Amino acid sequence: MFTATELNQRNRKVERLFRLLFLMMAGLLILPVIIILGVLIYKGGPVLSMDFLFTEPTDGMTAGGIFPALVGTIWLVSVALLFSVPIGVAAAIYLSEYAADNWFTRAINLAIINLAGVPSIVHALFGVGAFVIFFRFGTSILAAALTLGVMTLPVVIVATRESLQAVPQAFREACWNMGATRWQTIRKVVLPNSVSGILTGVILEVSRTVGETAPIMFTGAALFLPFLPQSVMDQTMALSLHLFVISTQVPGVPEGTPYGVALVLIGLVLAMNSVSIALRMYLRGKKKW
Amino acid sequence: MTRGDSTAVGESGALDRRNAAWYIDKLVQVLVFVGGISAIVFIIGIFVFITREGIGFVFGELDLWEFLASPRWRPTSDHNPTYGALALIAGTASITGLAMLVAVPFSIGSAIFIAEFATGKTREALKVLIELLAAIPSVVWGFIGLTIMNPLIIKIFDVPVGLNVLNAGIILGLMAAPIMTTIAEDALKAVPDGYREAAEAMGATRWQVTYKVVLPAAKNGLVAAILLGVGRGFGETMAVLMASGHAVNLPGSVFDSVRALTATIAAELGETAVGSNHYQVLFTLGIFLFVVTFAINLTADLVVRGIRKQ
């Protein structure tokens, strides 16, 4: 019979100790989120109503709702997507289907990592220097959305490249053997098999874009506009900037209002992320190969 | 039949397959290549455009010694504007340093738990929660620093102001931790299972396997994770702007309010006239931020490449 020696017992004790330590560390990372969500729901929940979501702010933003900010955020996200999704998908197709493993591809990958790593305020400076001043878009939805699009491009590229690479090579080879060109193979075989993976990436990008504040501060988002934007050359309010403004710049805002805005913002972001995660898990379960 | 014949057939066009599909294929190849180099174009574009706005000042009135060694940041002074960024650099460094003290042990610990100890549903649930933690926008974190952390710090430590290095550091630590956890976990997962099995066959416990085998093997990836976390903390803007107190100050303790490089740009760019010295010095700060984060990301990439070569 095997009986645990003193050494075995001590080892097991040490192991249990470390297991507990690491579990507590993971728990302590997650605990703040739960507390934060709790506080936001507790303090911001009572503020939320149809009126809050669908009326304009009044009395110097101390009363009324957030409708123009909500609409502005939708404008910004849509224009940013129109710009970055086609470019991002094309880049991912190039990297996954065409690029050889050489210095040039490594340079592209390094550029993608850096594009994701450059501080958001530097993206804002780029937006001002390039879109607002050089291309003469002025402070407009177009300039702000392009800045956001450049900033979130890596999200689309990385997610799309991963889902393209998950399509087995044999699928492509079978198609090539039938005499199809590279593009025919990509369009008829590779893309249909990875479209839902690309979708999860796009949803993630939306969630990221909704929350960004610094890049739009000087490129197109306004502190307060009493009307809705009519075209991409107009300025607009945005949900994220609105939260910053009413919690730091405007005196006399009722205590609950910023919590309400924060709750709407975080609700949108977490909902979108959850959809993206759920979609990913569903796809993993359904995979045919 | 000579060798030349088959070529001749090709040249005469009998084997020429350049139909519509062939041309579309070539066209698409060009289009996706343009998409492919977009990231390089944009990263160069960022550098060119922020340099274009700031370069006149860098080679003109900027006193490099004052910029790096003077803590006097008074760009709006009428008589004698000074552009000393030392206090801003110290602000960013103190916040990022404290954030790493918080985030490094917790994210490496969490990564070890997720990769080496947790199984099945627990692992999946933890990964999802950490992903959601990473998704919280920075302006919401700043708002939390302002409304939850601020009164909490005043109450617990009995200090007059709760918007300080401690507040911003903890917020930034919580923001950087999920990314570091995810990258560190990837690094641990990249260690071949054969290493673990060999150690376990020798009678090692799971902790011994982790400590003696997995951690040394994943060392480079963990270093890269920490570097990327530093880069993230360095460049964070809104949360730091709202939680740090935004006072130009060389911090003496964690309870001092400071001002970060990023926050300075965010707070002041709106009030400057395009082309003025103040406007240009803010772009100079931007160039500095760009160069430092670029160096951090490049180093992280080289460190990771180091593992692949082994």
**Structure-block tokens of residue A42:** 């507790």
Distance, in Å, from the CA atom of A165 to the CA atom of A172, rounded to the nearest integer, reads 11
Say whether A125 and B283 touch across the interface (CB within 8 A): yes
Domain extent listing, chain A: 65-286
Rounded to an integer, the average pLDDT of B172-196 is 91
Cβ-Cβ contacts under 8 Å, A154 against chain B: 39
Helices (H), A57-131: 67-93, 103-117, 120-127
Kind and range of the H or E run holding B193 = helix B193-201
Q: What is the pLDDT of residue A289?
A: 65
pLDDT at B141 over 50: yes
**Which amino acid appears at position A52 of this protein?**
F
Q: Read off the pTM.
A: 0.89
Looking at mean pLDDT, say which of A138-152, A249-263, B207-221 comes out highest. Answer: A138-152
Name which of B124, B128, B140 to mutate to probe chain A: the one with the most chain A Cβ atoms within 10 A of its Cβ: B140
Is residue B67 a part of any domain in this protein? no
CB atoms under 10 Å from CB of A136, counted, come to: 8
Task: Pick the closest to residue A69 from A217, A223, A208 (CA basis).
Answer: A223
CB-nearest to A25 from B110, B294, B297 is B110
What's the whole-number average pLDDT of chain A?
A: 88
Give the pLDDT band (50/70/90) at residue A156: very high
Q: State the fold for domain A65-286.
A: MetI-like fold (1.10.3720)
Is residue B183 a part of any domain in this protein? yes
Q: What is the pLDDT of residue B9?
A: 45
Is residue B244 a part of any domain in this protein? yes
B228 close to A (CB below 8 A): yes
Distance, in Å, from the CA atom of B138 to the CA atom of A9, rounded to the nearest integer, reads 47
**Residue A273 Cα, gap to closest chain B Cα (Å):** 7
Distance, in Å, from the CA atom of B36 to the CA atom of A99, rounded to the nearest integer, reads 9
> CA B121: distance to chain centroid?
30
B283 close to A (CB below 8 A): yes
What's the whole-number average pLDDT of chain B?
A: 86
Say whether B40 and A95 touch across the interface (CB within 8 A): no
**Structure-block tokens of residue B243:** 């939680």
**Residue B298 burial by Cβ neighbours in a 10 Å radius (0-12, 13-18, 19+):** middle
pLDDT at B8 over 70: no
Question: DSSP letter string over B207-237?
Answer: HHIIIIIIHHHTHHHHHHHHHHHHHHHHH--
Chain A residue with CA closest to B19: the answer is A181
**Which CATH number do you get for residue B202?**
1.10.3720.10
Q: What is the pLDDT of residue B308?
A: 59
Rounded to an integer, the average pLDDT of B115-135 is 87
Is residue B204 a part of any domain in this protein? yes
Is residue B201 a part of any domain in this protein? yes
Cβ-Cβ contacts under 8 Å, A136 against chain B: none
Q: What is the pLDDT of residue B13?
A: 52
Domain tally, chain B: 1
Kind and range of the H or E run holding B73 = strand B73-74
* Separate counts of helices (H) and strands (E) for chain B: 16, 2
- CB-defined contacts A:B, below 8 A: 270
Say whether A29 and B112 touch across the interface (CB within 8 A): no
Is residue B81 a part of any domain in this protein? no
**Residue A50 Cα, gap to closest chain B Cα (Å):** 22
Is residue B105 a part of any domain in this protein? yes
Which residues of chain B from 2 to 21 reach within 8 Å of chain A, CB to CB?
21
Distance, in Å, from the CA atom of B282 to the CA atom of B269, rounded to the nearest integer, reads 7
By DSSP bridging, strand A57-58 and strand B82-83 are: unpaired
User: What is the extent of the structural domain holding B126?
Assistant: 88-309
Give the pLDDT band (50/70/90) at residue B43: very high
Distance, in Å, from the CA atom of B112 to the CA atom of A18, rounded to the nearest integer, reads 10
